[in-house]
Chains A and B, each alone.
Chain A
């Protein structure tokens, strides 16, 4: 069964570089939690601190309510799946999977039985006697998962384990990972820079930048209600306008930009300072021949690309603003021509005024 994890004011410095900066988060028992962020944001360091390979400079890490300070990696109830999988090349598949058991003194025949059971669980029955080098990328992935599950960890830590796979396999393994997690009830902590992966698999996502946690929420909230500009633009696309805040009423604020006067949502508690910008997603941006009632900007189409389920349109306003829009392909949609003059409009409710990323 899984265990919960608490990170309390966790800091990690490498020399003068602060890799992780006061991270606070509680991962619930049996939860699938992802840390999402660009490379160098500190997410791998968090994983290594939870597994015990890196000591935090400050703060407390608890697993199952127990402070992990001083507990060495081989005594923690965690199992890490490495980015390169780190399968033991000189051992057979079964020996790899049973490694954790055999170092605990479990006898050979029991090890083998358990390895075969786990191979069935990860859908690789009968592969026990193969060598690691004889497996394909996806099969290696499954062996790594089986090897980690063999020690019955309370927490599984996964460091971008799908990044080496091709697209089809990656999508298949997403579903697989998710179902293994549901079946075993183990807490999963998943590290990725791929927003699609994080959103599709996780119960909750923590978005990170520069060592700091920017937002922790379920995937829908992360996408629909990002709390700052970093989250908004790292997770999905945006049209962004800089400007000055005007009057606010009922959560809708006036915002004056060099490209015109706009209205957009302004959430409570957002600092009303210089760094506010207007964010609106391309799929909420509508291109029409007629100007709308509000939030309307005349543009000229510069690029049209047909993506299958939608059409991506890039346009530029007279004032020089780049605008992207996505039109859903319902089979009868008219594709705008390059050079056409149109109006880009969006509803005030679908646009948000957000500060830059949160920095302490």
Chain B
């Protein structure tokens, strides 16, 4: 009885993986189809030309560079903010904590469209109020960065806060007792403990930023990021260059995933060896 149900589980797992991957495979396959419309069917022959067109598309590469710049800026701003907010909220208690926590988590639940619009309106109205034409107040990718930071910092905060729960504040006292200054305590005791969460936060911030569309669309002004560019391509008439791009992204993801998996297995083996050595 249990075994047949387990078998059912394995089958479902397999079906789900097929469900997840078949669309990606079809999309990747269309990158090689010599057909003006992106499709794997009907198959009109193998071609590399969509890749050639892709590499010739300068707007795309500009968008790609913009995306990376925005992502880096988001990481640089959101990680310190999220970490500081987590440390702050971890050291306070009571009603204030509950309120602050609510405000800090709210941006995650807020639709990206609304975040984009409110960011645009706020900085624009700052420009109107100050009567200044300062670049910060006009739409542009810098506003996309600020809009994205507003909710990406929440993710970083939650990750760091979770990690803080496993921190023994006695270690801070021990360090201080041994003569460390406040900044030495932070740098040498607390931050090393938080690094895994901070690194995870930075990775999530980076990818959330690259993925972001809703907030960016309203704040970007006339500049493009990759998702916005892909979106406009999809709307205005598609050629399989998009598929070529998709395939490159999938390959990049796969390489990263395989690299991660190999590293994980190696680490696992090393730990197992260490345990055996201790016994």
Please determine if A and B sit in direct contact within the complex, based on CB atoms under 8 angstroms apart: yes
Would you list which residues of chain B between 174 and 208 have a CB under 8 Å from chain A?
174-181, 184, 188-189, 192-193
Q: Are B171's CB and A73's CB within 8 A? A: no
Q: A51 in the interface, Cβ–Cβ < 8 Å?
A: yes
A84-B170, A88-B189 known; A51 and B175 CB under 8 Å? no
- Inter-chain CA distance A78–B278, complex, in Å, is 37
Q: Are A90's CB and B177's CB within 8 A? A: no
A86 contacts which of B174, B181, B184 (Cβ < 8 Å)? B174
Q: B279 in the interface, Cβ–Cβ < 8 Å?
A: no
A88-B189, A90-B192, A90-B193 known; A100 and B179 CB under 8 Å? yes
A74-B180, A103-B180 known; A88 and B173 CB under 8 Å? no
Q: B133 in the interface, Cβ–Cβ < 8 Å?
A: no
Specify which chain B residues have a CB less than 8 angstroms from the CB of A89 in the assembled complex: 171
Q: Are B170's CB and A73's CB within 8 A? A: no
Q: A151 in the interface, Cβ–Cβ < 8 Å?
A: yes
Q: Are B193's CB and A80's CB within 8 A? A: no
- Inter-chain CA distance A191–B173, complex, in Å, is 18
Q: Are B179's CB and A103's CB within 8 A? A: yes
Q: A306 in the interface, Cβ–Cβ < 8 Å?
A: no
- Inter-chain CA distance A74–B188, complex, in Å, is 15
Q: Are A103's CB and B177's CB within 8 A? A: no
Q: A344 in the interface, Cβ–Cβ < 8 Å?
A: no
- Inter-chain CA distance A100–B168, complex, in Å, is 19
B177 contacts which of A79, A84, A104, A134 (Cβ < 8 Å)? A79
Specify which chain A residues have a CB less than 8 angstroms from the CB of B173 in the assembled complex: 53, 73, 80, 82, 86
Q: In angstroms, how far is the closest chain B Cβ from the Cβ of A320?
A: 49
Specify which chain A residues have a CB less than 8 angstroms from the CB of B193 in the assembled complex: 90
Q: A99 in the interface, Cβ–Cβ < 8 Å?
A: yes
Specify which chain B residues have a CB less than 8 angstroms from the CB of A43 in the assembled complex: none
Q: A147 in the interface, Cβ–Cβ < 8 Å?
A: yes
Q: Are B177's CB and A74's CB within 8 A? A: yes
Q: Are B179's CB and A86's CB within 8 A? A: no
Q: Are A103's CB and B170's CB within 8 A? A: no
Q: In angstroms, how far is the closest chain B Cβ from the Cβ of A139?
A: 14
Interface residues on A, range: 20 to 34
- Inter-chain CA distance A103–B176, complex, in Å, is 10
Residue interface mask B201-232, A partner, CB < 8 A = 1: 00000000000000000000000000000000
Q: In angstroms, how far is the closest chain B Cβ from the Cβ of A150?
A: 8
A73-B173, A103-B184, A103-B188 known; A84 and B168 CB under 8 Å? yes
Q: Chain B residue with minimal CB distance to A98? A: B178
Q: Are A82's CB and B179's CB within 8 A? A: no
Q: Are B178's CB and A82's CB within 8 A? A: no
Q: In angstroms, how far is the closest chain A Cβ from the Cβ of B254?
A: 33
Q: Chain B residue with minimal CB distance to A144? A: B174
A80 contacts which of B174, B184, B188 (Cβ < 8 Å)? B174
A74 contacts which of B168, B170, B171, B179 (Cβ < 8 Å)? B179
Specify which chain A residues have a CB less than 8 angstroms from the CB of B184 in the assembled complex: 103
Would you list which residues of chain A between 2 and 55 have a CB under 8 Å from chain B?
51, 53
Q: In angstroms, how far is the closest chain B Cβ from the Cβ of A80?
A: 5
Q: Are A74's CB and B181's CB within 8 A? A: yes
- Inter-chain CA distance A104–B174, complex, in Å, is 15
- Inter-chain CA distance A80–B171, complex, in Å, is 12
A51 contacts which of B177, B180, B181, B278 (Cβ < 8 Å)? B177
Q: In angstroms, how far is the closest chain B Cβ from the Cβ of A350?
A: 45
Would you list which residues of chain A between 102 and 138 have a CB under 8 Å from chain B?
103-104, 134
Specify which chain B residues have a CB less than 8 angstroms from the CB of A75 in the assembled complex: 179
Q: In angstroms, how far is the closest chain B Cβ from the Cβ of A94?
A: 14
Q: Are B174's CB and A82's CB within 8 A? A: yes
Interface centre among A87, A103, A150 (most CB of B within 10 A): A103
Q: Are B179's CB and A80's CB within 8 A? A: no
Specify which chain A residues have a CB less than 8 angstroms from the CB of B168 in the assembled complex: 84, 86
- Inter-chain CA distance A148–B173, complex, in Å, is 13
Task: Give 14 pairs: A residue, B residue, CB < 8 Å, sorted on A.
Answer: A51-B177, A53-B173, A73-B173, A73-B176, A74-B179, A74-B181, A75-B179, A82-B170, A99-B175, A99-B180, A99-B188, A100-B178, A103-B178, A103-B188
Taking Cβ atoms with an 8 Å cutoff, the residues of B that contact A are 168, 170-171, 173-181, 184, 188-189, 192-193, 278
Taking Cβ atoms with an 8 Å cutoff, the residues of A that contact B are 51, 53, 72-75, 78-80, 82, 84, 86-90, 99-100, 103-104, 134, 147-148, 150-151
